[in-house]
Amino acid sequence: MTKGNLKSILYRIVKYIGIVLVVILALLFITPYVFSDKIKEEIKKTANKKLNAELNYSDANISFFHHFPSLTLTLNDLKLNGSAPFEKENFVTAKEVSFGINISSLIFGKTVSIDQIYLSDSFINVKVNKNGEANYNVYKSSSVEAEKATDSSDTSLKLEKIEILNSKIIYDDKSTNVHLDVFGFNYSGKGDLSKDIFDLYSKAKIEKLNILYENEPYLMNKKVDADLITKVNVNSLSFFFEQNNLKINQLIVDFKGKFDFLKDGYNIDFVIKSNNSQLHDVFTAFPPKFITWLSKTDLKGNTNLLLTLKGKYIASQNIAPDLNLDLKINDGYVNYNKSSFPISNLNLDINTKLPSLNPDLLIVDGKNLALNINKDYLKSKFYVKGVDTPDLNIDLSSQIDLEKLTQAFGIPDIELKGNLIGDIKAKGIFDLKNKLFPVTSGTINFKNGYLKTKYYPNPITDITIVSEIKNQKGTFDDLKVKLSPAQITFEGKPFYIDADLYNFDDLTYDVKAKGELDISKIYRVFSQKGLDLDGSIKADLVLKGKQSDAEKGNYSKLHNKGTLEIKNIGIVSEYLPKKFIIKEGIFKINQDKMFFKNFLSTYGQSDFKMNGYLQNVINFATTKTGVLKGSFVINSRYINADEFMSTTTTQTNSTTATSSTNSETPKTEVVQTGVIIIPKNFNLQFQANAQKVNFNKLALNNAKGNLKMNKGILTMQNTGFNLIGCEVTMDATYQALTMKKALFDYTIKATDFDVKKAYNEIEIFRKMASAAEKAQGTVSLDYKLKGRLNANMEPVYPSLVGEGVVSVKDIKLYGMKMFNAVSKTTSHEGIKNPEISKVDIKSSIKNNIITLERFKFKFAGFRPRIEGTTSLDGKLNIKMRLGLPPLGILGVPLIITGNKDNPKIKIGRKSDDLEETQDTED
């Protein structure tokens, strides 16, 4: 072959290769445009058929060059809403979503096959409400037969690759109170995703991971690297994690398990292990507040961690999985900020079980907790089963300098000194109701104690506790506790307690207390938030006796004496919505009585000055069955009784995830009122005098009476007060059945009651006697009434039962619609504005009906006779005989029906009875 022929052949090869490349390049540009409409149409068709949610995007383009060499359909500014009930909220938003298209299916097939998905700069916002309803159920499920029938015409989704770049995921589950933030998420997944069951090989990196539970951070700002092999079952929507190596900051974790999506929840089987890890690496995965501590701490030791979570989680059925956690630390070493006394030989072996995530079933088995600081040591084993009535097994032995311990651990914001020497063993059940106490033997001694925090400038010093606890039978009656002594010094004032207590079933006590405590300042030692009050207690007490002697009245066997002086102390009770404040007072204790001398106190707007005594105080304070007895004389300038009504506060809040934080909307408080609660373990008597009392919009003046509280019932005898210038006497009983319901029963007498004032100033009178709007004059009242009160302390009308007499002394009725209607019907103008005097009107109340017995009166020559019924909501069924002048021998029978605002008058004697409304509650 000549040299010229060789050049010619090479030229032709290059020429044809160039032509082919040009053709290929041309095809790469032209093909997307040729098949553009077909692809876009198939995508829309598939979205409508397969998605159960709204899909929107700004533009779509097709290119070989976006993810070369794949032909990709790219949707710009994609927005996919969630499934019900989140149809109006975004589930997925992305700057770009690209679908890789199988070329052979595009050219030769009837279907368009999508085998790759690319997401960039996306935001996946997963939400689950309190009922377990999620927004990710956007894919329409269909039967196998239906899928086969549509296979020949639908676009098929046969994925081989998923790639997510620079994206963000937020998972907010209100049913479990779990919240996750994932930022800087990069993911690459490969596998034969066209199969119903396939293996997905994945690599993931997370720049920042936050995990919160019940708004408390557990992992914050953590980096994660993961190599994952996951078996996916598309039909059942389940995931089996076969091999998953995670790295959270520096902690390497092996993660295996299974996760199934159920219709209304999840089925979970997770196993998370970290074997032979370094203690330092474990702490790098802890919440952020530990990171600063870790940077200054020399931390060594080996750890083994095993966490399992197994079972179904269905919020609507209160079904939850079982949680187990095993943690071991061997040969640990901790030294914060180069302390001279590091912690060595730190060993921990603890197993925690939480069946069904139920705290009442909690089991904590601390097989070993031990450490050394030079020759000091702490050794402990403990086992706890249950919360309400825990089964305990504790073995503690320590001889340790707390100053060295706090320095070695770097415990912030506290300066603690003193030697803690303890040796105690306890085994058994603590059950307050059945009076069971673990078998216990041991001592706990704390000497040369010192405590100072950043919240208060001065320390608590000279802390000494010498204690001994014994119980050989496991019952309350065998429990012995001895404090000899316990003392502190604060602000230069010492306080001492010596106590010898035994037989807690019938408490026998010998207590000596002397000194002064500033309560609010001591509280501020431990917290930034101080009490609203600067309260103090000064004691000089000797208490010696037996609980049963106090109960039986064997006061000669008691030896209780001394004084207790208190100032500005706030008392909070479950029965009262506000704080009861004792401004000043001196207790003098003698045997079983605690005498009050010139006690000045306030409650809200109310003020009290008390003198008297309490009895059986120790029995009341130490048992749930003890009855507090007492007798007092109380004087007050003003009492606002409405402030004693109980309240119930409920809070609602919703957590909304944002791009950088988990923000919580302000809590909304709903305050509901309740009736006044009288404690059932009170037996108290009061002789009360109050210049002014406000109760349920009634203004009472110069109130006096004898009050008694016993077994939850309030009794008032010989109670008198002035109401709108009228002297009123009343006897009454009151009992709260629940926080929303109470019963009352009272007898009331009122003389020369001004009707006009009553209507203007008493709301309940306006409601029950609305016809008296334009009446003038005086009446007297002698009535008995009982019934039920609602949560607002208002009477429930159908429950009212009563009877009595209203004596009319001199009254003028102007503009009453009933008499106007009678006047119009009978054509007698003189009936419009009757004047009545010296008439006794007897009536009774039951089932929402007031029954008027027959009564007569005279005015303007007429002699009316009235009887009948009227309901408390204003309906009328009144029978009237209108005796005509001059002597009333001739009369017109009238029937008055309708209601107080629109009475209807007709001549006759027959009418239908008013419908009764019976009280439906017992």
Residue 35 CA to residue 598 CA, distance in Å, equals 98
Most confidently predicted of 151-160, 229-238, 528-537: 229-238
Q: In this predicted structure, what is the pLDDT of residue 46?
A: 61
Pair type for strands 493-502 and 876-883:
unpaired
Q: Residue 7: which pLDDT band, with cuts at 50, 70 and 90?
A: low
When comparing pLDDT for 627 and 43, which is higher? 627
Most confidently predicted of 46-55, 85-94, 656-665, 756-765: 85-94
Across 338-367, b (16+ Cβ under 10 Å) vs e yields: ebeebbbebbbbbbbbbeebeeeebeebbe
Measuring CA to CA, how many Å separate 417 from each of 450, 459, 524? 5, 11, 19
Contact indicator for 237, 263 with CB cutoff of 8 Å: no
- Whether residue 317 is predicted with pLDDT greater than 80 in this model: the reply is yes
Q: Residue 22: which pLDDT band, with cuts at 50, 70 and 90?
A: very low
- Whether residue 761 is predicted with pLDDT greater than 60 in this model: the reply is yes
Instruction: Please name every residue paired with 816 in a beta bridge, in sequence order, or none if there are none.
Output: none
pLDDT digits (tens, 9 = 90+) for 274-314: 888 888 777 776 766 666 777 788 889 899 988 899 998 88
Q: In this predicted structure, what is the pLDDT of residue 346?
A: 92
Residue 686 CA to residue 614 CA, distance in Å, equals 12
Q: Residue 38: which pLDDT band, with cuts at 50, 70 and 90?
A: low
Q: In this predicted structure, what is the pLDDT of residue 65?
A: 47
Q: Residue 853: which pLDDT band, with cuts at 50, 70 and 90?
A: very high
Tell me if residue 409 falls in helix, strand or coil. helix
pTM: 0.61
Residue 684 CA to residue 629 CA, distance in Å, equals 5
Average pLDDT, the chain: 79
Percent of the chain past pLDDT 70, that is, above it, reads: 78
φ/ψ of 123, rounded to 5, equals -130, 115
Rounded mean pLDDT, 322-343: 90
Residue with tokens 């690599």: 203
Contact indicator for 294, 287 with CB cutoff of 8 Å: no
Q: In this predicted structure, what is the pLDDT of residue 210?
A: 84
Measuring CA to CA, how many Å separate 238 from each of 45, 201, 259, 465, 904? 27, 16, 6, 59, 75
φ/ψ of 733, rounded to 5, equals -130, 150
Picking from 360, 286, 293, the residue whose alpha carbon sits closest to that of residue 320 is 360
The encoded tokens of residue 668 equal 């909304």
Q: In this predicted structure, what is the pLDDT of residue 916?
A: 72
- Whether residue 244 is predicted with pLDDT greater than 70 in this model: the reply is no
3-state helix/strand/coil string of 699-728: EEEEEEEEEEEECCEEEEEEEEEEECCEEE
Give me the DSSP letters along 816-831. -HHHHHHHHHHT-GGG
When comparing pLDDT for 152 and 643, which is higher? 643
891-896, long-range: CB < 8 A, 24+ apart? 891/863, 891/865, 892/826, 894/822, 894/825, 894/826, 896/818, 896/821, 896/822, 896/868
Instruction: Please name every residue paired with 627 in a beta bridge, in sequence order, or none if there are none.
Output: none
pLDDT digits (tens, 9 = 90+) for 859-869: 777 788 888 89
Omega of the bond leading into 886 within 30 degrees of 0 (cis): yes
- Whether residue 395 is predicted with pLDDT greater than 50 in this model: the reply is yes
Rounded mean pLDDT, 14-39: 50
Omega of the bond leading into 834 within 30 degrees of 0 (cis): no
Q: In this predicted structure, what is the pLDDT of residue 757?
A: 78
Contact indicator for 449, 463 with CB cutoff of 8 Å: yes
Contact indicator for 528, 455 with CB cutoff of 8 Å: yes
Residue 144 CA to residue 402 CA, distance in Å, equals 69
pLDDT digits (tens, 9 = 90+) for 586-621: 888 888 788 888 888 888 888 888 898 888 877 777
68: buried, middle or exposed (CB in 10 Å: 19+, 13-18, 0-12)? exposed
When comparing pLDDT for 808 and 450, which is higher? 450
Residue 56 CA to residue 46 CA, distance in Å, equals 14
Residue with tokens 């009308």: 797
Residue 799 CA to residue 598 CA, distance in Å, equals 42
Residue with tokens 């208002």: 794
Q: In this predicted structure, what is the pLDDT of residue 471?
A: 94
